[in-house]
């Protein structure tokens, strides 16, 4: 009897020990092999091209440097359209400086997939395959739409997407224009496919103020130039965290989600540093940081956390179908421009 108990304990201890050893090894492997880490440190730097907001990415770089202070990340930030032109032109001239290219518009990135080297993070199997458009490109950041309002100005706040069409909010709402990029195109597609063919017309009838991108719109919301509107959660959450008079919610009809496409060009001069940086960003630690501090979602199958106010039991995330995402863009954006009276 005692023997059996002993054996059990020994077995459990053995398993536990194994598990411990395994988890320690996993910890070491989480960001890459010791060889990769050593090679990355030897390179010492990498150049990071991104379409995301510079300030947001500055925080990501800072968090990465807490883990790997030896590697300097130099960032070039440009709006989506300009970034693509720069990457294409540099690549064609054989002068692509980027070690990592990070873009919000997957439709623009997919035709360029061959430019990128084979790469997969150590936790590749944990990622939702639907979020990937090519084996070389990974959803480093996954952004989600929400609705935000200024609590000083709105006494009777909206609760749904449909509320944004109410005449009582005439001239109080703001909208980011459909042609601004991949994330907005996702939202616009969601509105037409889920909220109805006439949603744009009804919303446009309230005469919203149009913004070229989410950042100036979130600033206008804080200042009170507009009172409410749809915003990427990560564009407005940091302001709420700092104490701005803002309330954010995820509407019940659904929350459109846009994964980025991020890869390492074949020509990268610092490929190991680039891999280590992406490995960290895509790791549980990196994704958790982006969720908690920046208000992103994740494309991991099992999310390690959720942003504040996001209840996974209630919020229905909505991913666009990628073939439609590519196919419908030109005509639907043109329709949107017409409906909202936006000159293109």
Partner 1 sequence: MDALASRRSEVTRSASESKRGHAWGGLWVTFLLAILGFLVIYPVLMLLLGALTDTNPVVEGISLRHLSVTNFLTVLANPNVAEALANTLIACGGGTLIAVVIGLLFSWIVVRTNTPFKGFIAAASILPLFAPPLVAGVAWAILGSPKTGLINTMFKWVGLDWRVDFYSMWGLVFVFGIYYAPYVYMFTASALRNMDPSLEEAAEISGASAFATLFTVTFPLIMPAIVSGMLLSFIVMLGIYGIPAVLGAPTNLAVLTTYIFKLTNWSPPLYNTAAAVAIILMVVTSLLVFLQQKVLSGRSYTTVAGKAFRPRSLDLGRWRWFTFGLGIVYLLVVVVLPSLALIVAAFRKFMFIRDVASLFDARQYSLMHFYSIFDNPLTLRSIYNAVEVGLITAVVGGALAFAIGYTIHRTQVTGRRWIDVISTLPVAIPGLVVGVAYLWAWIGIPGGLYGTIWILALAFIARFMPDTVKSLSTSFMQIHRELEEAAWVCGKGVLGTIRTIVLPLARPGVIASMTLLFVLAIRELGSSLFLYTSNTMVMSVLLLDYYEGGNLGKTAAFSIVQTVLLGVLIGGANWLSRGAAPSSVARTG
Ramachandran angles phi, psi of 255, nearest 5°: -125, 105
Q: In terms of CB distance, is 193 or 234 closer to partner 1?
A: 234
Written as six digits, the tokens of 173 are 């709402």
Q: In 3D, which of 150, 193, 191 has the Cα closest to residue 174?
A: 150
Q: Toward partner 1, which CB reaches closer, 72 or 202?
A: 72
3-state secondary structure at position 328: coil
Under the phi-then-psi rule, with left for phi > 0, alpha for psi from -120 to 50, and beta for the rest, what region is 295? left
Largest CA distance in the chain: 84
Cβ count near 319 (within 10 Å): 17
Note the residues at the interface with partner 1 (CB under 8 A). Answer: 47-48, 53-56, 58, 74-82, 84-86, 88-93, 95, 97, 105, 108, 150, 152, 179-182, 185, 209-220, 222-225, 235, 239, 242-245, 341-344
Which residue in this structure is represented by tokens 């804080």? Answer: 222
**Least distance (Å) from partner 1 to the CB of residue 47?**
5
Task: State the minimum distance, in angstroms, from the CB of residue 299 to partner 1.
Answer: 20
Shortest spacing between CB 23 and partner 1, in angstroms: 35
* Min dist. Cβ of residue 219 to partner 1 (A): 4
**Closer residue to partner 1 (CB): 36 or 112:** 112
**C-alpha to C-alpha distance for 59 and 92, rounded to whole angstroms:** 31
Q: CA 212, CA 233: separation in Å to the nearest integer? A: 17
Smallest distance from the beta carbon of 44 to partner 1, in angstroms?
14
Least gap, CB of 344 to partner 1 (angstroms): 7
How many CB atoms neighbour CB 39 within 10 A? 17
Return the number of the residue (222 or 255) whose C-beta is nearest partner 1: 222
Which is nearer to partner 1, 76 or 162 (by Cβ)?
A: 76
Q: Write down the least CB distance from residue 92 to partner 1, Å.
A: 4
Element (H, E) at 264: none
What's the half-sphere exposure (Cβ side, CA atoms, 13 Å) at 137?
25
Q: Which is nearer to partner 1, 189 or 300 (CB)?
A: 189
Burial class (CB in 10 A: 0-12, 13-18, 19+), 113: middle
Q: Are 51 and 71 in contact (CB under 8 A)?
A: no
Measured from the CB atom, is 127 or 145 closer to partner 1? Answer: 145
């Amino acid at each position: 009897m005692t023997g059996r108990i002993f054996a059990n304990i020994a077995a459990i201890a053995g398993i536990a020990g194994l598990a411990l050893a395994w988890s320690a090894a996993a910890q070491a492997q989480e960001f890459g092999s010791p060889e990769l880490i050593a090679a990355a440190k030897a390179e010492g730097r990498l150049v990071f091209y991104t379409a995301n907001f510079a300030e947001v990415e500055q925080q990501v770089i800072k968090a990465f440097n807490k883990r790997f202070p030896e590697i300097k990340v130099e960032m070039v930030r440009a709006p989506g359209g300009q970034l693509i032109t720069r990457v294409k032109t540099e690549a064609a001239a054989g002068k692509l400086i980027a070690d990592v290219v990070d873009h919000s518009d997957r439709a623009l990135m997919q035709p360029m997939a061959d430019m990128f080297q084979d790469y997969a993070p150590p936790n590749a199997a944990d990622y939702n395959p639907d979020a990937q458009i090519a084996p070389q490109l990974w959803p480093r950041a996954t952004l989600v739409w929400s609705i935000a309002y200024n609590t000083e100005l709105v006494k009777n706040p909206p609760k749904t997407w449909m509320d944004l069409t109410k005449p009582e909010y005439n001239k109080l709402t703001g909208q980011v224009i459909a042609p601004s990029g991949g994330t907005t195109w996702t939202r616009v597609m969601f509105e037409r496919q889920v909220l109805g063919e006439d949603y744009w017309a009804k919303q446009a009838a309230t005469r919203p103020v149009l913004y070229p991108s989410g950042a100036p719109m979130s600033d206008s919301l804080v200042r009170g130039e507009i009172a409410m509107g749809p915003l990427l959660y990560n564009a407005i959450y940091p302001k709420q965290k700092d104490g701005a008079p803002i309330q954010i919610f995820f509407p019940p009809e659904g929350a459109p989600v846009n994964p980025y496409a991020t890869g390492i060009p074949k020509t990268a001069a610092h490929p190991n540093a680039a891999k280590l940086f992406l490995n960290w960003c895509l790791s549980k630690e990196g994704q958790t940081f982006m969720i908690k501090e920046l208000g992103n979602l994740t494309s991991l199958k099992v999310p390690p956390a959720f942003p504040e106010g996001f209840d996974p039991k209630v919020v229905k995330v909505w991913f666009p179908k990628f073939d439609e995402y590519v196919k419908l863009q030109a005509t639907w954006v043109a329709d949107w421009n017409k409906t909202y009276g936006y000159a293109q």
